[in-house]
Amino acid sequence: MMKDSYKRILVVQDISCVGQCSLTVALPILSACGFETAILPSAVLSTHTGGSFSGYTFRDLTDDIPAILAHWQKQSITFDALYTGYLGSTRQVEMVETIMDTLIIPGGVKIVDPAMADNGQLYAGFDENYVAAMRRLCARADIILPNITEAAMLTGLPYSEEQSEDYITELLTGLAGISSAAVVLTGVGFEPDIIGAMSVKGGNAHYYGRHRIPRMFHGTGDVYASAFTGAYLRGHSLHSAAAVAVDFTLAAIENTVDAPEHWYGVRFEPMLPKLIERLNENG
């Protein structure tokens, strides 16, 4: 890895103490990709909010953030890139806009994963106000990484399980109406046995899909977005990074599918050496 490609990335996401999502996914993946990570934890939860977890704790850290940002500004701390995921509150989404304006170096890439919904439903605790705030944040990003449900909510279009090319085009047109960011739309499959990502930049669309494993997995959006961020910041094009992340996410899923007791996340860690190898092959 060339010395000047070493970057410091600010990751804004929750700490789900147990459950293989958010920061426990993003940090190891970005470290494996060769980057310095800095974090702004949006909330602390005992587990993530999905699947069979119930009764989880949730501490919203929104009120801690202004002092943290003020300290960083006083110390002249800046970041080469920003990657945001699950945020703790609507107010916090606005704070991330301040971060974009004050703490990211000029030309620093701003990647927003509007992690808030899946399978047609908002995650527990989010509402329309959060969706509206996330829509504004997406408008300020360089790259956004919604899944189909998030794209439907951001654009106000109905969620459809059936993914015709027309529906995907409609979602992408809708997203172009709210943000000029490049888009990586995840969970796209035009055939029953294939799933992947559609990446779009300046009217140039590219699809990359692999075989679908017919089981629902938690945390794959975070695995995908983290691997995408790592590959992109290592110099891969949007389309290439989108494909690297599909392959890595599939490898993590395949490493989990024979472990039915592992229902809360995917076992991505043993796949990290392969990701490192792939990134070393071409930059």
Interacting residue ranges for ligand PXL, rule: CB under 6 A: 14, 16, 21-22, 45, 48-50, 86, 115, 123, 219, 221-222
Give me the least distance between CB of 186 and ligand PXL, in Å please. 12
Give me the least distance between CB of 222 and ligand PXL, in Å please. 5
Give whichever of 108 and 219 is closer to ligand PXL, judged by the CB atom.
Answer: 219
- Asked whether 178 and 155 are in contact (CB, 8 A), the reply is yes
Give me the least distance between CB of 108 and ligand PXL, in Å please. 24
Give whichever of 21 and 231 is closer to ligand PXL, judged by the CB atom.
Answer: 21
Write the single-letter amino acid at 186. Answer: T
- Asked whether 111 and 232 are in contact (CB, 8 A), the reply is yes
Give whichever of 115 and 145 is closer to ligand PXL, judged by the CB atom.
Answer: 115
Give me the least distance between CB of 121 and ligand PXL, in Å please. 10
Cα–Cα distance for residue pair 229/37, rounded to 1 Å: 12
Give me the least distance between CB of 16 and ligand PXL, in Å please. 5
The token pair at 208 is 């990359």
Q: State how far the alpha carbon of 139 is from the alpha carbons of 44, 116, 144, 152, 155, in Å.
A: 27, 16, 9, 15, 12
Give me the least distance between CB of 43 and ligand PXL, in Å please. 7
Angle at the Cα of 250 from the Cα atoms of 227 and 234, rounded to 5 degrees: 20
DSSP string for residues in 89-140: -HHHHHHHHHHHHHTEEEEEEEEE---SEETTEEPTT--HHHHHHHHHHHHT
Q: Whose structure tokens read 């679908």?
A: 212
Give whichever of 78 and 255 is closer to ligand PXL, judged by the CB atom.
Answer: 255
* Neighbouring C-beta atoms of residue 202, cutoff 10 Å: 8
Give whichever of 56 and 190 is closer to ligand PXL, judged by the CB atom.
Answer: 56
For helices 23-32 and 220-233, angle between their N-to-C axes, nearest 10 degrees: 30
Give whichever of 45 and 171 is closer to ligand PXL, judged by the CB atom.
Answer: 45
Give me the least distance between CB of 44 and ligand PXL, in Å please. 10
For helices 23-32 and 272-281, angle between their N-to-C axes, nearest 10 degrees: 40
Give whichever of 72 and 126 is closer to ligand PXL, judged by the CB atom.
Answer: 126
